[in-house]
Amino acid sequence: MAIPLSYNVRSLAARWTSTVVAVLGIAGTVGVFVAMLSLARGFEATLVASGSARNAIVRRAGATSEMDSSVMLEQVRVVEDAPGVERGDSGPLVSPEVVVIASFPLRGRGVEGNAQVRGVSLKALAVRPTVKIVAGRAFQPGLSELLVGRNVAASYEGLELGQTVRFGGGTWTVVGVFDSGGTAYDSELWCDYSVLRQVYQRPLNMFQSATARLTSPAALTGFKDSLTSDPRVTVQIDREIDYYAKQSRQLTTLITVLGSIIAVVMGIGAVFGALNTMYSAVSERTREIATLRAIGFGSGSIVVSFVVEALCIALVGGLVGCAVVLPLNGLTTGTINWQTFSHLAFAFRVTPGLLAMGLAFALLMGLVGGVPPAVRAARAPIAFALREL
Amino acid sequence: MVSIDGRADSKSLIRARGLGKTYRRGGEQIHVLQGLNLDVDASDFVAFMGPSGSGKTTLLNLLGGLDVPSEGSVTVAGDEITRMSGAKLTAWRARHVGFVFQMYNLIPVLTAFQNVELPLLLTGLSKAERRSHVETALAVVGLDDRMRHYPRQLSGGQEQRVGIARAIVADPTFLLCDEPTGDLDRKSADEVLDLLDRLVRDHGKTVLLVTHDPRAAEHARLILHLEKGVLVESVTASPPR
């Protein structure tokens, strides 16, 4: 039978100062690790949630994003006639859209930030049923009116309901606020595409993308095959959810890699903390360990006992680190989306999976910090160790 | 019966032949024990005396399987322990040897009960059986009312009695006591020695005792003197009390 766990737990409590130092080292590392990953997850989730499995986004073949894409009016007509497109009261649910970047003063920062302004028709609301108007009303076609995402007023000055703002050579009035459920659209300003094209002097028959609502997610294949084999159009088609996942990949990868590097560097420090704690534990208890071995506990029992002790420290550290980061869940922050060069508000997402990863990372640190001292404890000559004070 | 001439019959419980231990310090060899022969029968009480550095504790460590000799052999109850591997020797210690240390060597974060229970964790006994054994051992040493006390809540004499309870709880073949009264006042020392007497007399235990204290040694049936690693004489002490 193994050495009782109560021996380890009480020994840790008896040496509480060094235990606390090791716990804090691991907690800090786990906290940073989980916080960075929750930032990446939040960004990714915000963009991925922007897409729907039932929507297909049509862009010019070869375009990397909507910003460098163009879709002509004739092509939009072909898209509308393609198989698999859902039809509503107002005809096929296809939303041709124009996207521009405009800068507005960021709230409380004294600098300007880019926001994505999306020119749409009112069909856009039918194509994206998750978008709900929560205050005011929709823009009226032909007027310089803005319907803004719920994060816009919080991120920028002068974009609250009823306020007037100048950009692109026009004067616009905010007439409504919409909520898209925490997606990227919540950081956008929507308006009538025809007005936006005039203000920005864009060709009147040109859009940048067309988003089609399909009858079902499975309808994408037929829709795509039809358009890619049609000689009248040269377009690329993505399921909307995949398009946004691709958009999120660059920054998500960057945050994940940076977060991991920081966590690994901090983790090395935390491992040394755990090593120090466990080596001093072994050193202080040389005679106790020798006594246990004299009584008949084998080297394996000793190693397991001290590794378990290190893992106890790591587990507590991991739990503390996770507990500290948990309040970040849902906290909104913002960054530049490098695919669209516009400001994107998103919330930290501290998921159960990330917490499990944090705990696993903590236990790994405990294992690395616990094994060498445990092996030393098991290898010391008993006869000499029994005489240690 | 105890013999140091190496001619005793093979029935003795503990038998050492040509036992030697040499340490190397720098380029120098230090012979701590040399060519030692010893035979101890079951239920004997033997005391080893001698000046510091004479090899008493080293001998005890070799007989208890805590150290390996440079030469010679130790056989206990027919098993030659000097040929055993590390893991086998560990298991053998758990089964056959009860250790009593000068500084008691109790685990400070465990209660008296839990300290005494430690050797039983290595047996296949159930929790209820372990409890029964521990209570019996603590009753033998007169500390059944101190089971929940931690070592820091006990006097030195009581700590050593807990140490003895731990040594006897698994009913080992023999007890090795290394200066068990060395850190105790006279009264506590007498209590501990009386306890060892009772273990030999009433429970038939075999006890090997290392001590500097002639009064402690007098409790043994035979006193063996070690000088520079050699057993030089034996003195029969008072008959068992």
Range B11-40 average pLDDT: 89
Chain B hits for A382, CB-CB cut-off 8 Å, are 61, 66-67
Q: Which long-range contacts (CB under 8 A, 24 or more apart) does A347-356 make?
A: A347/A42, A347/A46, A347/A182, A348/A35, A348/A38, A348/A39, A348/A42, A349/A38, A349/A41, A349/A42, A349/A45, A350/A34, A350/A38, A350/A325, A350/A326, A351/A38, A351/A41, A354/A34, A354/A37, A354/A38, A354/A41, A355/A34, A355/A322, A355/A326
Residue pointed to by tokens 């007498």: B190
Residue B23 maps to a domain: no
Q: Residue B239: what pLDDT?
A: 53
A62 Cβ under 8 Å from any chain B Cβ: no
Dump pLDDT digits (tens) for B102-120.
999 999 999 999 999 999 9
| Total of domains in chain B | 1
Compare A184 and B45 and report the one with higher pLDDT: B45
> How many Cβ atoms sit within 10 Å of the Cβ of residue A64?
11
Q: Residue A52: what pLDDT?
A: 82
Range A166-179 average pLDDT: 92
The residues that bridge with B14 in the sheet, in sequence order, are B40, B76
d(CA B196, CA A368): 46
The residues that bridge with B3 in the sheet, in sequence order, are B39
Residue B22 maps to a domain: no
Q: Residue A270: what pLDDT?
A: 81
Q: Residue B236: what pLDDT?
A: 65
Range B179-185 average pLDDT: 90
Residue B144 maps to a domain: yes
Residue among B67, B105, B122 whose CB faces A297 most closely: B122
Residue among A11, A287, A296 whose CB faces B119 most closely: A296
A5 Cβ under 8 Å from any chain B Cβ: no
Range A181-190 average pLDDT: 85
Residue among A10, A296, A383 whose CB faces B94 most closely: A296
Chain B hits for A13, CB-CB cut-off 8 Å, are 109
Q: Residue B114: what pLDDT?
A: 94
Range of the domain at B124: 42-67+85-233
Q: Is pTM, for the whole model, over 0.90?
A: no
Residues with Cβ within 8 Å of B51's Cβ and at least 6 positions away in sequence, in order, are B227
In this prediction, residue B172 has a pLDDT band, given cuts at 50, 70 and 90, of very high
Mean pLDDT of chain A: 88
Q: Residue A281: what pLDDT?
A: 81
Contact A295 B99 (CB under 8 A): yes
Residue B218 maps to a domain: yes
Contact A383 B58 (CB under 8 A): yes
Q: B213: domain CATH number? A: 3.40.50.300
* Closest chain A residue by Cα to residue B60: A383
Nearest CA distance, A14 vs chain B (angstrom)? 8
In this prediction, residue B227 has a pLDDT band, given cuts at 50, 70 and 90, of confident
Residue B240 maps to a domain: no
Best of B60, B66, B85, B106 to substitute, by most chain A Cβ atoms within 10 angstroms, is B66
d(CA A197, CA A70): 13
Best of B21, B33, B57, B90 to substitute, by most chain A Cβ atoms within 10 angstroms, is B90
Q: Using a pLDDT cut of 70, give the percent of chain A over it.
A: 97
Residue A233 has pLDDT above 70, yes or no: yes
Contact A298 B66 (CB under 8 A): no
**What token pair was written down for A128?**
């994206």
d(CA B45, CA B55): 19
Q: Residue A263: what pLDDT?
A: 82
Residue among B66, B90, B109 whose CB faces A298 most closely: B90
Residue B17 maps to a domain: no
Dump pLDDT digits (tens) for A119-162.
999 999 999 998 999 999 999 999 999 999 988 888 888 899 99
Dump pLDDT digits (tens) for A43-59.
777 777 777 889 999 99
Which of B161, B117, B111 has its CA nearest to residue B139?
Answer: B161
B152 alpha carbon, distance to own chain's centre: 24
Dump pLDDT digits (tens) for B48-83.
999 888 889 999 999 999 999 999 999 999 899 998
Contact A11 B122 (CB under 8 A): no
Pairing of strands A87-88, B230-236: unpaired
Residue A315 has pLDDT above 60, yes or no: yes
Under 8 Å CB pairs connecting chains A and B tally to: 70
Residue among B66, B91, B108 whose CB faces A383 most closely: B66
In this prediction, residue A342 has a pLDDT band, given cuts at 50, 70 and 90, of low
Please state which of the ranges A149-158, A212-221, A277-286, A328-337 shows the lowest mean pLDDT: A328-337
d(CA A202, CA A98): 9
Q: Taking the CA of residue A1 as centre, how many other CA atoms within 13 Å lie in the half-sphere pointing to its CB?
A: 16
